Amino acid sequence: MKATRDAYGDALLELGRKYKDVVALDADLAGSTKSVKFKEAFPERFFDMGIAEANMVDTSAGLALCGKRPYASSFAVFVTGRAFESVRQSIAYQKLPVVLCGSHGGINLGEDGGSHQAVLDISLMRTLPNMKLVVPADYNETYTAVLSTIKDDGPVYIRTSRAKSPVFTEGDFVFGRGRALRTGRDVTLVACGFLVWYALEAAKLLEKEGIDASVIDMATVKPIDEEMLYDFAKSTKKMVTIEEHTIFGGLGSAVAEFLSEHYPIKLKRIGIPDVFGESGTGDDLLCKFGFNAAGISNTVREWLKKN
């Protein structure tokens, strides 16, 4: 069990070792986002911008305009929400190679409550032209995804999580490619973030009930792997999306938009309904919103009965 935010810290450190143009910025949360590892190794290339996320994002743009490769991190709720206008005007509009990392994505951060839980960051970033968007499933995938951003010529948003979660991929991440972790006949579960693990566990529970599910790890939410969606829509004729995010504008919406235009089939979106988060332990919240294996398998089974 490892947190994806640790992978961000470790990969950023590795990038710092390899490339002297890599610089890192944080907004007084280096210990939480894990950019602290870079800060300790390369203090001269690390800029703490204080509790001023918008200024951090704009300053990153200026650094990028002078040839630097900035990696700017904060809580997902702040770097995408509070700093949205700076991300829009200075990063996305100029198509600058700035990597934004939003740690503490979703509701699993728990006790701090709804003010700190990012439930609409994917939606905000997905709407920006030029922005790529990655929600990796585990430590290994996050590590590879962060390393791969150095080859990009435009902005990338990476969402990481606070909670420790199982490490189950080989880290064979390729931008824009989904990965089929399991192939079944009856339904396809498309998930992102560490909920991919729960989707796999749910598929095992469903198998015991005679439901044969495919599971896709859709780490790149934008640009989404349309080819893979098409193939699986065709083979299973039913699809379920699973994300720790509002059902408006995130992975579920991306899949719905594609399917409705190219291969209309029945779709169920599992996510956070039209509400904010709240306080509780991460596990209690995952349970409340039906994101654990039992919750997902129950929703899928009941939906399949009606559809």
Partner 1 sequence: MEDLEKIAKEIRKDILLMLNMAGSGHVGGSLSCVEILVSLYFKVMSYDAKKPSDENRDRFVLSKGHAAPALYAVLSKAGVFPRDMLWTLRKLGSPLQGHPDSKYLPGVEASTGSLAHGLPQACGMALAGKLDKNPFRVYCLMGDGEMDEGLVWEAFMSASHYKLDNLCVVIDNNTLQIDGRCRDVMNIYPLEEKFKAFGLYTKSVDGHKFSELISAFEEAKNNKRSPTVIIAHTIKGRGVSFMEDKVEYHGVAPTDEELKKALEEIDEGD
DSSP 8-state class, residue 105: B
The torsion angles phi and psi of 249, rounded to 5 degrees, stand at: 95, -5
With both helix axes pointing from N to C terminus, report the angle between 139-148 and 4-18 in degrees, rounded to the nearest 10: 30
Half-sphere exposure of 23 (CA within 13 A, CB side): 24
DSSP 8-state class, residue 108: T
- Looking at the Cβ atoms of 65 and 294, the one nearer to partner 1 is 65
Q: How far is the CB of 68 from partner 1 (least distance, A)?
A: 5
Q: How far is the CB of 45 from partner 1 (least distance, A)?
A: 7
68 binds partner 1 (CB under 8 A): yes
93 binds partner 1 (CB under 8 A): yes
Draw the binding track, 95-134, toward partner 1 (x: CB under 8 A; -: no contact).
x---------------------------------------
**Segment interacting with partner 1 (CB under 8 A) among 39-47, 135-143, 154-162, 254-262:** 39-47
Single residue of 67, 129, 210, 273 touching partner 1 by CB under 8 A: 67
The Cα 273–Cα 94 span in angstroms is: 34
Q: How far is the CB of 89 from partner 1 (least distance, A)?
A: 4
CA torsion, points 113, 116, 120, 125, in degrees to nearest 10? -160
253 binds partner 1 (CB under 8 A): no
The Cα 49–Cα 52 span in angstroms is: 6
233 binds partner 1 (CB under 8 A): no
52 binds partner 1 (CB under 8 A): yes
- Residue partners of 145: CB distance under 8 A and separation at least 6: 11, 134, 136, 158, 173, 175, 219
Please tell me the count of residues contacting partner 1 according to CB under 8 A.
29
**Segment interacting with partner 1 (CB under 8 A) among 4-12, 82-90, 161-169, 279-287:** 82-90
Direct distance between the N- and C-terminal alpha carbons of the chain, in angstroms, rounded to an integer: 36
- Looking at the Cβ atoms of 43 and 210, the one nearer to partner 1 is 43
Find tokens 């594609």 and name the residue.
258
| Residues at the site binding partner 1, with contacts judged by CB under 8 A | 23, 44-45, 47, 49-50, 52, 54-55, 58-68, 70, 85-86, 88-90, 93-95
